[in-house]
């Protein structure tokens, strides 16, 4: 492990499930993160809400043992909810609801979010977002269109945390930095 | 006879005896009557906001119903001093003025303390769906609706108050880090320090009672472990500053299974990818 503080990259469930499901459009970018994780440049933050969805999916399948072993890796950081996460999650849900923020729906739809997902931030999504914010993650990696929209429109400007697909190079390769 | 667009004037309560009203209407054209549960729920929150407002103003009043009508669903109350039985119109004026300022500017008004503003916030955000609520002061022409803008302004005003200082708190959970230094073998105060990857400069003081927890660690010193127990947090701090350890799990030093090893181990239902699968899970909750 490096002596300096690594980058905290929080993954939404769709990232790990995309790997488990062998989705070819997602694999290259997601697997490219292995290099950062295994060199200690980054930690993989997994909110308990995400872990719950992954473990439930793998439970009773041939994937169970490998998923369990993967989660014990020293670069995997389970991120627990606590009081502050709960309050933050509630505030996010109150805020990102088109009933209270009338312009939200139109903006989200204009940004390409499907209409049925553009009305408000869901319970689990807000818990994951609140967890990433509370633990001061540099990044929340997701493919969810509404979370991506919120990131670009509000969260990144207000907090500095990036919400994006795993394509953008948020870190220089550790060995490149040393060159 | 001239046509009247506005509601009929309310009967006057009397000089200086101002009142406040709450009116609920349904937006469902097929069902004109307001659901009783919705009405009493909103009315209870509204009355609570009025009571807290009065209390914070130092007024010992009770709220008497001076009008109650089914036409939509309207309740009108006035504050009456408990001691003298006389109305307290100044309280109504202060409420009206404070509310107007907040609605106009989104800034807190001195008439509303954090507690009374919080109760007002609670009321405006608990108005049942498919229902329109209106504030009033006894005069029908001065009734106005609680809109998303009203909610927003009240939320802004509430956010403008500095947050109240909060205390340390405890949560059950687990934490991963480097088991760095064994501080004390004293049976009454066994402890070690856990160095967190994300906060290396702030090691967590971990106390434990069961000596066997560390006796079996062996090579795990200076390796990654996961501790489980009661984690003690300071407000606004993402990582705990102390922990009462109940269990220690040694983590492998090197990854045994990497991300690559997980590829294709699960097959999602036909036609679903990871994004639609996760969405269907979460929408079903």
Q: Please tell me the distance in Å from A134's CA to the nearest CA on chain B.
A: 6
- pLDDT per position as a tens digit, B251-261: 888 778 999 99
Task: Compare CB distances from B176 to A61, A77, A99 and report the shortest one's residue.
Answer: A77
Q: What percent of chain B has pLDDT over 90?
A: 26
Residues 6+ apart with CB under 8 A from B247: B213, B227, B228, B229
> So what's the pLDDT on residue B185?
62
Give the C-alpha separation, A87 to B233, whole Å: 15
Give chain A positions within 8 Å (CB) of B178.
1
Chain B residue nearest residue A100, CA to CA: B148
A43 interfacial to chain B (CB closer than 8 Å): yes
Question: Are B262 and A70 inside 8 Å of each other by CB?
Answer: yes
**By three-state DSSP, how is residue B132 classified?**
strand
pLDDT band of B108, cuts 50, 70, 90: confident
B90-99, B132-141, B273-282: least confidently modelled range: B132-141
Domain residue limits, chain B = 20-160, 169-250
Give chain B positions within 8 Å (CB) of A69.
256-257
**By three-state DSSP, how is residue B40 classified?**
helix
A105 interfacial to chain B (CB closer than 8 Å): no
Chain B residue nearest residue A63, CA to CA: B265
Q: Which of B120, B116, B37, B22 is nearest to B72 (CA)?
A: B22
Task: For residue B215, count CB atoms less than 10 angstroms from its CB and return exposed for 0-12, middle for 13-18, buried for 19 or more.
Answer: exposed
A64 interfacial to chain B (CB closer than 8 Å): no
pTM of the model: 0.64
SS (H, E, C) A13-59: HHHHHHHHCCCCCCHHHHHHCHHHHHCCCEEEEEEHHHHHHHHHHHC
CA angle B15, B18, B22 (to 5 degrees): 145
Determine contact, residues B211/B190, Cβ cutoff 8 Å: yes
Task: For residue B178, count CB atoms less than 10 angstroms from its CB and return exposed for 0-12, middle for 13-18, buried for 19 or more.
Answer: buried
**Between B142 and B131, where is the model more confident?**
B131
Report ipTM (2 d.p.): 0.89
Mutate to test the interface with A, among B278, B284, B285 (most CBs of A within 10 A): B278
- Residue A12 domain-assigned (yes or no): yes
CATH number of B169-250: 2.40.50.140
What stretches of chain B adopt beta strand conformation (E)? 20-26, 61-69, 73-81, 131-136, 144-145, 169-184, 190-196, 199-208, 224-233, 242-250
- Residue A145 domain-assigned (yes or no): yes
- Residue A128 domain-assigned (yes or no): yes
Q: Please tell me the distance in Å from B234's CA to the nearest CA on chain A.
A: 10
Give the C-alpha separation, B139 to B133, whole Å: 16
> So what's the pLDDT on residue B58?
73
> So what's the pLDDT on residue A6?
93
Give chain A positions within 8 Å (CB) of B278.
12-14, 17, 53, 144
Give the C-alpha separation, A158 to A88, whole Å: 14
Task: Compare CB distances from B275 to A14, A74, A123 and report the shortest one's residue.
Answer: A14
Mutate to test the interface with B, among A16, A54, A74, A92 (most CBs of B within 10 A): A74
**Between B181 and B17, where is the model more confident?**
B181
pLDDT along chain A (179 residues), means of 10: 77 96 94 88 94 89 90 92 87 86 91 95 96 95 97 91 79 47
> So what's the pLDDT on residue B219?
59
Residues 6+ apart with CB under 8 A from A86: A130
Determine contact, residues A9/B250, Cβ cutoff 8 Å: no
Question: Are B200 and A124 inside 8 Å of each other by CB?
Answer: no
Domain count, chain A: 1
pLDDT average, residue stretch B245-250: 89
A80 interfacial to chain B (CB closer than 8 Å): yes
- Backbone phi, psi, residue B282, to 5°: -75, -35
Q: And the tokens for B36?
A: 């009783």
Chain B residue nearest residue A65, CA to CA: B257
Query: Tell me, what CATH number does A51's domain have?
Result: 3.40.50.1010
Q: Which of B81, B78, B104 is nearest to B93 (CA)?
A: B78
Chain A residue nearest residue B228, CA to CA: A80
Q: Which domain holds residue A153?
A: 7-168
Average pLDDT, chain B: 82
Q: How far is CA B250 from the centre of its chain?
A: 38
Pairing between strand B224-233 and B169-184? antiparallel
> So what's the pLDDT on residue B67?
84
> So what's the pLDDT on residue A176?
47
Give the C-alpha separation, B41 to B36, whole Å: 8
- Partners of B205 in beta bridges: B193, B242
> So what's the pLDDT on residue B162?
67
Q: What is the DSSP string of B207-247?
A: EES-THHHHTTGGGTTSEEEEEEEEEE-TT-SS-SEEEEEE
- Partners of B177 in beta bridges: B225
> So what's the pLDDT on residue B2?
39
């Amino acid at each position: 492990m490096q002596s300096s503080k690594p980058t905290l990259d929080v993954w939404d469930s769709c990232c790990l499930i995309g790997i488990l499901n062998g989705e070819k459009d997602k694999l290259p970018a997601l697997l490219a993160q292995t290099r950062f994780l295994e060199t200690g440049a980054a930690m993989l933050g997994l909110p308990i809400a995400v872990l719950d969805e992954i473990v439930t999916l793998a439970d009773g399948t041939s994937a169970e043992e490998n998923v369990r072993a993967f989660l014990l890796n020293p670069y995997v950081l389970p991120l627990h909810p606590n009081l502050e996460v709960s309050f933050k999650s509630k505030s996010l849900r109150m805020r990102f609801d088109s009933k209270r923020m009338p312009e939200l729906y139109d903006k989200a739809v204009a940004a390409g979010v499907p209409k049925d997902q553009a009305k408000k931030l869901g319970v689990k999504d807000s818990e994951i977002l609140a967890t990433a914010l509370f633990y001061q993650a540099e990044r929340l990696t997701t493919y969810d269109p509404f979370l991506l929209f919120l990131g670009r429109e509000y969260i990144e400007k207000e907090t500095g945390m990036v919400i994006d697909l795993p394509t953008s190079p948020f870190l220089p390769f550790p060995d490149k930095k040393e060159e | 006879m001239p046509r009247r667009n506005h509601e009929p004037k309310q009967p006057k309560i009397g000089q200086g005896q101002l009142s406040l009203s709450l009116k609920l209407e349904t937006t469902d054209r097929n069902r004109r009557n307001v659901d009783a549960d919705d009405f009493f729920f909103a009315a209870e929150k509204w009355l609570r906001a009025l009571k807290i407002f009065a209390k914070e103003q130092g007024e010992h009043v009770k709220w008497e119903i001076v009008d109650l009508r089914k036409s939509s669903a309207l309740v009108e109350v006035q504050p009456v001093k408990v001691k003298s039985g006389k109305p307290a119109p100044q309280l109504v004026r202060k409420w009206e003025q404070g509310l107007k300022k907040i609605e106009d500017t989104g800034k807190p008004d001195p008439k509303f303390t954090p507690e009374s503003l919080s109760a007002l916030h609670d009321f405006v955000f608990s108005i049942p769906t498919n229902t329109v609520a209106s504030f009033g002061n006894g005069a029908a022409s001065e009734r106005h609706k609680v809109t998303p803008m009203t909610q927003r302004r009240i939320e802004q005003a509430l956010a403008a108050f500095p947050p109240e200082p909060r205390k340390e708190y405890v949560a059950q959970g687990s934490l991963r880090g480097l088991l760095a230094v064994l501080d004390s073998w004293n049976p009454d105060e066994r402890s070690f320090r856990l160095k967190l990857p994300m906060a290396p400069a702030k090691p967590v003081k971990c106390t434990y009672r069961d000596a066997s927890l560390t006796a079996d660690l062996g090579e795990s010193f200076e390796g990654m472990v996961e501790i489980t127990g009661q984690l003690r947090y300071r407000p606004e701090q993402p990582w705990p500053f102390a922990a009462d350890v109940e269990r220690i799990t040694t983590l492998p030093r090197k990854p045994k299974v990497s991300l690559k090893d997980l590829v294709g181990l699960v097959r999602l239902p036909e036609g679903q990818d990871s994004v639609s699968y996760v969405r269907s899970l979460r929408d079903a909750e």
